[in-house]
Amino acid sequence: NAGVTQTPKFQVLKTGQSMTLQCAQDMNHEYMSWYRQDPGMGLRLIHYSVGAGITDQGEVPNGYNVSRSTTEDFPLRLLSAAPSQTSVYFCASSYRGLDEKLFFGSGTQLSVL
Amino acid sequence: KQEVTQIPAALSVPEGENLVLNCSFTDSAIYNLQWFRQDPGKGLTSLLLIQSSQREQTSGRLNASLDKSSGRSTLYIAASQPGDSATYLCAAQNTGGFKTIFGAGTRLFVKA
């Protein structure tokens, strides 16, 4: 009953460092996505994928990279962390991405100093 | 561009009260409207999904309605309980793509 698993749960970075947030799902979902949640602003879509090898940009893609080499995994890469990227990051998935409930991971709290 | 707004931002009610949470959206070309619950420090859990052809969905004490023409959805919670205390978010999925746009949420506190 793992569902959507995100690692790590907490991370502190210095400005300019890079890192990868991991997301894995075991529900054979084609659609996976990354959101960031900031106080008072709700969740904003960063990138999404509709299947292995297919990714597209969301509302706030700058400063983030993604790739989808397998159905199960959808990592989010911060190339050069900035304080503006301090946020809580959520990964979400659904079977095919259209007209279906979204399943969320428990989030990664990232602080960039 | 789709914008989703939730009012009020916070709400405090006594236990047992029936309550309504509001969600409005600017673009009526949507596949669905989805309501989520988020507990502090946790991820989101989908409560109800209303497809564009539907008017409402019910699950237990929860009832969600959708009026595309007016750009509004409501989440009705009957006989509220302290365990209902959480943040409730609504989200609209636009037609023509895979993007789901979220409101900022309503933080609900049910007093025992």
pLDDT for A55-106, tens place per residue?
999 999 999 999 999 999 999 999 999 999 999 999 999 998 888 899 999 9
User: pLDDT tens digits, residue range B79-92?
Assistant: 999 999 999 999 99
Q: Do A90 and B101 touch (CB under 8 A)?
A: no
| pLDDT score at A97 | 83
Residues B99-109, mean pLDDT to the nearest whole number: 94
User: Is B49's pLDDT higher than 80?
Assistant: yes
The pLDDT confidence band at residue B97, using thresholds 50, 70 and 90, is confident
Residues in chain A with CB shorter than 8 Å from the CB of B5 are none
Q: Is A44 on the interface with B (CB under 8 A)?
A: yes
To 10 degrees, the CA torsion angle through A59, B8, A100, B97? Answer: -30
Question: Cβ separation of A101 and B104 shorter than 8 Å?
Answer: no
- Give the number of other Cβ atoms within 10 Å of residue B94's Cβ: 18
Query: Is the CB of A105 less than 8 angstroms away from the CB of B43?
Result: yes
Instruction: Of B17, B20, B26, give the one whose Cα is nearest residue B92.
Output: B26
Distance separating alpha carbons of residues A92 and B48, to the nearest angstrom: 16
Q: How many residues does chain A have?
A: 113
Residue of B43, B51, B99 lying closest to A107 (CB–CB): B43
Closest residue by Cα to residue B89 from B2, B9, B28: B9
| Closest CA of chain B from A82, distance in Å | 23
Is A90 close to B99, i.e. CB distance below 8 A? no
Q: Do A92 and B99 touch (CB under 8 A)?
A: no
pLDDT of A1 above 80 = no
pLDDT of B66 reads 96
Query: DSSP label at A73?
Result: B
Average pLDDT of chain B is 94
Task: Reply yes or no on whether the pLDDT at A25 is more than 90.
Answer: yes
